[in-house]
Amino acid sequence: MLWEFLVPPSQMGQAARTVVEARDYQLTFADGTKAIDLTSGLWNVNFGYGNPFVAERIEKVIRECHYATLFRSSHPAAHEVAERLLAHLDMSEAALVFSTSGSALNDVMVKLALQWNSLLGRHARTVVSIQGSYHGMTLNSMKLSGENLGQAVYGAHSANFVHLPLDDVEAWKQFFQTRGNTVALVVLEPVLGSGAIPLSNDVLNVIFEARKQYGFLIGADEVAMGLYRLGTIAASFDWKESADLLGFSKGLTNGTAASSVLVVSNTVAEVFIQQDSVFMHGETQAGSPVACAAILGVLDFLDSANIQEQYHQLESRVSLDLEHLARKYHLSRRGMGLFQYLGWGDADSFESDALSGSLGADYFRSRGISIQPSLEGIQIIPAITMPISIWDEAVRNLHAAFEELTTRGTK
């Protein structure tokens, strides 16, 4: 059998959850159901399924594809990606490390930060992240995650990995006062991908001040929020100070290839360069020609499109429509940009028991919309390039779905 991720064996292979076609902004499932995708392919497909710029790049390279590893070698496309992506970020003096997924990327971030500290003669080994955060499923990424992923079963607990509250300024101040000189790295999601909860600016200010005092690195996990999900190529660019390390995946290839990159600031990279120190990491498929072609296709598209204008047009409509839904059906709402959450919590106006986890995803899918289930709610993450007409259809489907639930709940 095919072993699917994150579902019990009893739920594997269901036709209602088997995607047989993805085109533009719509999914077709094996049971014949069609649904507008409001998850952007688990927030990978920022620019629509079958994006012609990405498809053209991949089609061209796949017919003459060579196996070009970055183990002690390179190839022109990888250099082109580094040059063009860093230019888009206005970080031309930075360095680019390839990886193959968001999970692997965060492993790379932790390892590089620990080695950087060691090269400077610092003995700091503590890595800090947010309670409730999600950074992936490799062992270091599970340690980094502040969400319950069954870490104890896999031995993915470590006293060197600390999780602090999202918005508790005093907890952060107290932690730095007692353990600040042990900190090697603080890793932050600009918005928590699990639950769409924005990071507190007050906590950010405490972290920035502590970095000045203790000299640790700050890593921005841009896997979910990067590539214009919040209106800029890197959501952390809206912070008052820059991150030292930035990690991108998902939208980086528009969901077409297993790839990620870690952007290493010039000041961090210079420590390795001055000591001519080998970074002990390598993945045989990282920076492959196909992955690089996909990234270059995304960059071609961004060069051709006014993506920020498209973002603002859709974001304003999404904000208005979700606010109306929240008021009409007594839902809570949070999130930023095109990463939003609607929750029912204690609402008793409709039958919410039928909406837990995958059951909720099934309910909305059967009514023409694919959403991401979340704790006592749903996450709505439309593609940045989704036409307003398709979004309008999705909103009508959302209204109909909540109206039906309200009718059930009042009988």
Domain boundaries of the chain, sorted by first residue: 9-50+306-409, 52-304
CATH superfamily membership of 9-50+306-409: Aspartate Aminotransferase, domain 1 (3.90.1150.10)
C-alpha distances out from residue 110 to 117, 260, 279, Å: 11, 15, 12
Across all residues in the chain, what is the average pLDDT?
Answer: 94
Q: Is 336:122 a contact under the CB 8 Å cutoff?
A: no
pLDDT, mean of residues 187-194: 94
Q: What would be the CATH architecture of the domain defined by 52-304?
A: 3-Layer(aba) Sandwich (3.40)
Q: pLDDT digits over 111-158, tens only?
A: 999 999 999 999 999 999 999 999 999 999 999 999 999 999 999 889
The Cα–Cα gap between 389 and 396 comes to 11
Structure confidence by residue, pLDDT tens digits, 237-273: 999 999 999 999 999 999 999 999 999 999 999 999 9
- Alpha-carbon gap, residue 347 to 240, rounded angstroms: 37
What are the start-end ranges of the H helices in 195-306?
201-214, 266-275, 289-304
Among 9-23, 157-171, 214-228, 349-363, which stretch is predicted with the lowest mean pLDDT?
349-363
Q: Are 94 and 264 in contact (CB under 8 A)?
A: yes
Q: Calculate mean pLDDT across residues 211-216.
A: 98
Helices 102-119 and 266-275 cross at an angle (nearest 10°) of 60
**Would you say 244 and 260 are in contact if contact means Cβ atoms under 8 Å apart?**
no
